[in-house]
A = this chain, B = another copy of it.
Amino acid sequence: MKKIKVLYAEDEPFLARIVFDGLSSSGYEVNLALDGQLAWMQFQENKPDICILDIMMPQKDGYTLAAEIRKSDPNIPIIFLSAKALTEDVVMGFKSGGNDYLKKPFSIDELLVRMESLLKRFGHTQKDETAMVRKYEFRSCELDALTQKLKTSVGEYSLSYKETILLELLLKNRNNILEREHALIKIWGEDSFYNGRSMDVFMAHLRKLLKTEPEIQIMSLRGVGYKLIC
């Protein structure tokens, strides 16, 4: 099945990487543009199926870009990203042709949900199956991220939403580093003190659930992040 092409215009490199990774691993083909001018060029070249535009960018701001894109293709869905959340911004975004408006910080899942709903509305009926199956086997355990069930050698548990996403993230990077900051932004949309502490608590939950498995271990790399050994 052909991948859906996303044009993503964002000048903040750290955030850009996270979102890029998130979208890629959800099966989208992402073109990242680091400023508005580049974005416009990439748009003409790549003919994306959906655009995600940061408002504040060097060279050309998101509104102007959107208006240009809209003129060239009246039927492409556009999502704005913005740090500001003032009503006039929303109006502005709307006038220039945007279809949805996400205020930072946002989590990847929030963005994915909006994208899917817009794509559906604009008649892109993808949904490749791989994006729907979210099952992971590791050692004698199994996580079904859709139903939020974790099976270990001693039993089956129902996980909460955030526990599930966190474990899924660890599994996607199994035997590899999951950066703390990366996880925080993926799940909470921002890296703040309390979100960090909250994640620590979830980590403790997961460790408790998995401590029956001798071959599985969540290591922590001080100052960096975590590594799931399995």
Q: How many residues of A contact B (CB 8 A)?
A: 46
Whether A177 pairs with B87 at a CB distance below 8 angstroms is no
Query: C-beta contact mask, A90-124 vs B, less than 8 Å → 1, else 0?
Result: 11001100011100000001000100110011000
Whether B99 pairs with A13 at a CB distance below 8 angstroms is no
Neighbouring B residues of A120 by C-beta, 8 Å: 172
A154 contacts partner chain B, Cβ-Cβ < 8 Å: no
Per assembly, the copies of the chain total: 2
Whether A101 pairs with B17 at a CB distance below 8 angstroms is yes
Whether B161 pairs with A221 at a CB distance below 8 angstroms is yes
Whether A87 pairs with B13 at a CB distance below 8 angstroms is yes
Query: C-beta contact mask, A136-177 vs B, less than 8 Å → 1, else 0?
Result: 000000000011100000000000110000000000110111
10 inter-chain pairs at a CB distance below 8 angstroms, sorted by A residue, are A13-B88, A24-B121, A25-B121, A34-B91, A34-B95, A116-B176, A120-B172, A132-B175, A147-B219, A161-B221
